[in-house]
Structure 1
């Protein structure tokens, strides 16, 4: 496990939480304590420039590259007036460098095993095992050999 991944898991510590948040900030990462992070998170390139919204859920074995943003599509609207409820990345999702996953209404779900390409801007939910790229992101393929459902082999 990388140093950055270790820090992400320790950000909720009662004793060292604030210190860990500051250490992550030195790497240019913002991971609020409210964000839910599953086991096996991999962060490449020390996650420089990565920002997660507090209402983010990452499943198991999610991979994040540098410059990833996960959050609201309407930051100018006060939080209490926003219709965004949560962004969920299911198990095995890969978010490549510079990608933005932004939600405006309800819950945006990135399906298990999905890849979001470099510099893509994803604004809607995806199915499992899909490949999304572009601005705005669109489905450009399906990953071969990826189980389609949660818990399937």
Structure 2
């Protein structure tokens, strides 16, 4: 487990939580205490520049690269007036470097085993084991089922 992943896991600590948040800030990582995180989170390249909205849920074995942003598509609107409810990344999702996942309204769900490509801007929910890329992101293919989901193998292009 990397130092940043360990710090993220301890960000809610009763005594050291504030110190942990400040240490994460040195890496440019913002993971508020309300973010729900499943087991097996992997953060690569120390997560430099990674920002997660408080209304984010990460499933088990999610992988985040540096520069990832997960949040609202309407940051100019006060939070209590926003139409965004939550962003959910299901189990085994991989979000590549610089990708942005922004929710316009309701709940945006990234399906289990989905890959969001580098610098993609994802604004819609995805199905399981899909590959999304581009700005705005579009589905460019699918992955093999759960057994092959970790190797990133392309099953077919869209």
SS at match of 2:24: helix
Q: By how many angstroms is 1:144 displaced?
A: 2.0
Q: By how many angstroms is 1:100 displaced?
A: 0.1
C-alpha distance after superposition, 1:71-104 (max 9, x if no partner): 0000001100001000000000000000000001
SS at match of 1:126: coil
| 1:16 equivalent in structure 2 | 16
Please list, as runs of the form range in 1=range in 2, the aligned pairs for 1:1-153 lying within 5 A after superposition. Answer: 1-146=1-146
| 2:151 equivalent in structure 1 | none
Distance 2:127 2:141 in 1: 11
Tell me the C-alpha RMSD between the 2 structures. Answer: 0.7
| 1:150 equivalent in structure 2 | none
C-alpha distance after superposition, 1:86-129 (max 9, x if no partner): 00000000000000000010000000000000000000000000
Report the TM-score when normalising by structure 1: 0.95
Distance 2:42 2:28 in 1: 16
Q: By how many angstroms is 1:145 displaced?
A: 3.7
Distance 1:7 1:130 in 2: 30
SS at match of 1:21: helix
